[in-house]
Amino acid sequence: MIKIGTPYKKNATRVMLLGSGELGKEVAIELIRLGIEVHACDSYEHAPAMQVSHFFHVFDMLDPEALRKYIGIIKPDYIVPEVEAIATEELVHAEEDGIKVIPNAQAVRLTMNREGIRKLAAEQLKLPTSKYLFASTEEEFTDAVHEIGIPCIVKPIMSSSGKGQSVVSFFPKIGSAWKKAQKEGRAGSGKVIVEEIIDFDYEITLLTLRSKSGTSFCEPIGHKQVDGDYVESWQPHVMSGLALIKAKEIAKKITDALGGYGIFGVELFVKGDNVWFSEVSPRPHDTGLVTIITQDQSEFELHAKALLGLPVPNINFLQEGASAVIKIEGDNSLIEYEGLEEALAKPNVKLRLFGKPKVKGKRRLGVVLAGDEFSHLARDKAKQAAVKMQVNLNDSIGPVF
């Protein structure tokens, strides 16, 4: 029997949230609705999830000593990773001490590193994937590019939102691709993966839930990326019945192998009836923000319930919908928003401003969500609303895209 204590009391049920961005903020809200005491952790102050949590803690989550220290201070019942950059060996120790790591320490370790998850998927589970090679040095990288062939894509084995990712279209650009991967990887310089570019029709995110009630799936989510980072998503994405069956089979195999409870964002390439595994995240996915408007339970509510061991007997799809991001480029810590009235003027539109405290480079600051009779209408509505939003950085209106 699951028992939930009272926040701020000695019997509180405590969740240590490792990563406090916009996805962590939504998870924190759902956990708080269930009576959980949430401790939001990140490397900088006033991150989005910290603004809605009971307590927040600022430290380098890649530092094993710092992570160990704060686990000891918080004494969490659950540790919920929401980012890649974590000293995963400490999660193994925490699990050995009886703390529940979501979905489990081994799954977090494997999925935080593209090498681990790709070898599990392609070499152990024999799932269809693109051709790939790993490289630890610039010389190995050059050899890998020649073997995989041009064009190919290079990514740090530890990164997200397109950071450090680039397409190598011709050989003179090899050096710049290597430098970009080394500079922008989540854990600094290190190994990269060089992948064949598959000639696919589209890519989807298949949100896969493992809960006390078994494995269930949300409707497939289509999405558009720019520079490896998502800018819009829609649900459902239309695909053939056979392709959807194959997608679910792949998603179940990889999530069964990882184990534990929670939502998994399984990314897949699709061409006709053929499906290839791309990546998996053992936590809510940014493209899944669209579920706030399309489902009776968003991916964040599903994650919160599942990780606590609660049953999730069904997921109801309510309406077709889309999301469009509010993103800006600049360098400032004084951010103001305008155009909210115009953005929300049409029916069935929602707005989420993440409350990020500063911008340095390109940064996603919010998302517009729209529902409509058909997903293409929802996409148009969401994009039109996002364009209405203006972001003011130190008295200059920045471009939103």
Terminal-to-terminal C-alpha distance of the chain: 48
Q: Is 128 exposed, middle or buried (0-12, 13-18, 19+ CB in 10 A)?
A: middle
Q: In terms of Cα–Cα distance, which of 323, 289, 301 is closest to 28?
A: 301
Q: In terms of Cα–Cα distance, which of 140, 124, 397, 390 is closest to 258?
A: 124
Do 324 and 368 contact (CB within 8 A), yes or no?
Answer: yes
Question: Distances from the Cα of 260 to the Cαs of 133, 282, 307, 308, in angstroms?
Answer: 29, 9, 8, 11
Q: Is 257 exposed, middle or buried (0-12, 13-18, 19+ CB in 10 A)?
A: middle
Q: Which residues contact 253 (CB under 8 A, 6 or more apart)?
A: 125, 127
CA distance 83 to 43: 11
| Cis peptide leading into residue 103 (ω within 30°) | yes
Active site residues: 160, 162, 267, 279, 286-287, 364
Give the CA angle between residues 198, 202, 205 to the nearest 5°. Answer: 105
Q: In terms of Cα–Cα distance, which of 73, 25, 21, 22 is closest to 42?
A: 21
CA 142 and chain centroid, separation: 30
